[in-house]
Amino acid sequence: MGKKRKQRDTEQTQPEIKRGEDAAAPERPKRPLLGWKEKPQEDDNTVSPSFRNKEKNMLMVLIAPGFSAGSTRIYLYLWMEKCPNGPSVKFLVNAVHTMEELKLTGNHLRGSRPILTFSSNFDNHAHWKLLKEMIIQIFGTPKGHHKSKPYYDHVFVFSIVDDHIWFRNYQISVPHRESDKVSRGSLEKMTLVEVGPRFCMNPIKIFGGSFGGPTLYENPFYVSPNQIRALEKKQKVNTFAKKVKAKARRMMHELSNPLEADEFADVERMSSFQPAVLLPG
């Protein structure tokens, strides 16, 4: 066990504090308005190698679940918006299949750059062109961004089918054997393996402002989930009413057409009767 240090020893080891004019602490520098580090002023004409968003605009994706009144069903809505002045788009997301459900074999590095591909019908109408540009700005990697990777290893596929945008995610699979290595520019041995997830976006409205404003486009084929649920309930009510009417018609038919008495009804009863056999005592 080590001996405890005495208080006198600790007092001797501590440096003596000077008192007087020399002991005064140096003055603390005044903090500038923009922080302690003064950044050098840069002209607008100077070109920096890294990506800079001078306009301070941001494209935002907001996913919000929607609850229908009087039921436990949840509907998924997705907003795409360019802050702060718009435009903004509202989608209804359907047919969502997660990576856990699909159990696909594809895989890619997290945070790597995707290749964006679009079907040719994105250029047919003005609202599809606007959605294509917003998707490019949201999912695409800006040129010269300091966190961007110098390679591509997966593909995002956006296609329009039945006025819905379908999303798929594929891995670019390249053989790793020495004999099967792919040379630059050759795509014969490259294959696409689906990674997931999958989902479908149904555009509802395109607004001119941020989460609102003038309506630039409204989908004429969109039907809200509540209306679909109400129609399903009406169909169920109609089927039940049809069953009740059919049952009432059957009862009226039986009353109007009673069955005649069967002459051979007692014969079956007599045939089922078996007399008891008496054994001699």
* Cβ–Cβ under 8 Å, residues 197 and 102: yes
Q: Is residue 122 part of a domain?
A: yes
Q: Is residue 278 part of a domain?
A: no
Q: Is residue 170 part of a domain?
A: yes
Q: For 183, phi and psi rounded to 5 degrees?
A: -80, 160
Q: How many domains does the chain have?
A: 1
pTM: 0.60
Provide the residue-wise pLDDT of the chain in tens; the chain has 281 residues: 555 555 555 555 555 555 555 556 677 766 665 555 555 555 555 544 544 555 445 566 666 666 544 455 778 888 988 888 889 999 999 888 888 888 888 888 877 889 999 999 999 999 999 999 999 988 888 877 888 888 888 999 999 999 999 999 999 887 766 555 556 555 677 888 888 889 999 999 999 988 888 999 999 989 888 888 888 888 787 787 888 888 888 888 888 888 777 777 676 666 655 555 556 65
- Give me the domain span that covers residue 81: 58-224
DSSP codes of every residue in 172-187? EE---SSTTPPPTT--
Q: Is residue 99 part of a domain?
A: yes
Write the CATH number for 92: 3.40.50
Greatest alpha-carbon span in the chain: 144
- Quick one: how many helices (H) and strands (E) in the chain? 5, 9
